[in-house]
Structure 1
Amino acid sequence: MEFVAHPNELPLKLTAIEDQHFPPCNSERTGFAGITYLTSCAFDSGACVEVTLEEIDPNFCVCGRVAWCNKEEGGYLIAIEFPTQEACYSVRMVEQLSQIEHYRRRAKNEGRRLNYNEAAAEWIQKFAAQFPAFTL
């Protein structure tokens, strides 16, 4: 399973969900499984969370499960897996948009002004081949 590090400057809203149940994940699964994110509060492994990302898509809302949570400097690094095909596909698409926005902002900090389409074209050329494929 592969997790993509979500850019910290694009804040996720994570809300614990008490009564959500997911089918067990196959530990031998390959490809994109979810995201990692540095958050200020700890979550128990196995806990279900609702994930929203208003800055990229105000309508984006998906449920995932905390695969692990590790104390790090500055907070807790958590991995969130998305066990259903629909959620995993949605998150992978939104995460690519997040990575492109992160790339655009980094270019701006380096003195390069790119619009979103220019940033997307450069990111795709440089990084899309390394982005984990969707397999479930």
Structure 2
Amino acid sequence: MRKYIRHPITVPIEVEVVDEMEVHSQTRLLNISAGGLAFQLPKVVPVGSQIIVSIPQIWPDYRARGRVVWCRANKSSIEAGLQFAEASEAFKARMVAQLCQIEDYRRSVLDAEGRLLTTDEAAQEWIEQFAGDFAEAVGW
């Protein structure tokens, strides 16, 4: 049984491998939880590597530091799991998860209904429709 509920999110992120001074942009966040997050990488990174993850697509920019706790290649990609370096990251992760869900909602409304919502409009609609379920499911 998992210690933290994971929330699937597919947004572009930037990953900096601190030891290698290498930044991988054009990678994707896969899910986020109170304990950490999972993301795709272009190459395998050693477990224990220090990582800085940023999500420039949301405002304000989100940055989190942590360490790789697993990394594996599967059929089509390489995925890694990051454990947050500080417990305070859990609160920020919850906010980021909500912001990412709102952005996904904004895109899905555009695709399904052809309505182009501002971020504020999407946030208001998402909060009215989903915030209660999200808060319940998160357990943070």
TM-score > 0.5, shorter chain as reference: yes
1:115 aligns with 118
- Quick check: 1:42–1:69 contact (8 Å CA) kept in 2? yes
Amino acid at match of 2:109: A
How many equivalent residue pairs? Answer: 120
2:139 aligns with 133
Greater relative contact order: 1 or 2 (C-alpha under 8 angstroms, separation 6 or more)? Answer: 1
Deviation of 1:58 after TM superposition, in Å, equals: 5.4
Structure with the higher strand share, 1 or 2: 2
In structure 2, C-alpha distance between the alignment counterparts of 1:122 and 1:107, rounded to whole Å: 10
In structure 2, C-alpha distance between the alignment counterparts of 1:104 and 1:130, rounded to whole Å: 22
In structure 2, C-alpha distance between the alignment counterparts of 1:71 and 1:102, rounded to whole Å: 26
Q: Structure 2 unaligned segments of length 5 or more: list them.
A: 20-32
- Aligned pairs for 1:9-48 within 5 A: 10-18=11-19, 32-48=34-50
Q: Considering only aligned residues, what root-mean-square deviation do their CA atoms show, in Å?
A: 2.3
In structure 2, C-alpha distance between the alignment counterparts of 1:131 and 1:116, rounded to whole Å: 23
Q: Structure 1 unaligned segments of length 5 or more: list them.
A: 19-30
Query: TM-score under structure 2 normalisation?
Result: 0.70
Please give the per-residue CA displacement for 1:60-116, whole angstroms capped at 9, x wherever unaligned: 322012222221233112222214122222222122201210121122111242332
Cα distance 1:74–1:130, how it changes in 2: closer, same or farther (>3 A)? Answer: farther
Of the three residues 9, 13, 30, the one matched with 1:6 is 9
Please give the per-residue CA displacement for 1:9-68, whole angstroms capped at 9, x wherever unaligned: x211111123xxxxxxxxxxxx72122222322222222200111111354322012222
Runs of 4+ in 1 over 6 A off after TM superposition: none
Percent identity for Structure 1 against Structure 2 = 28
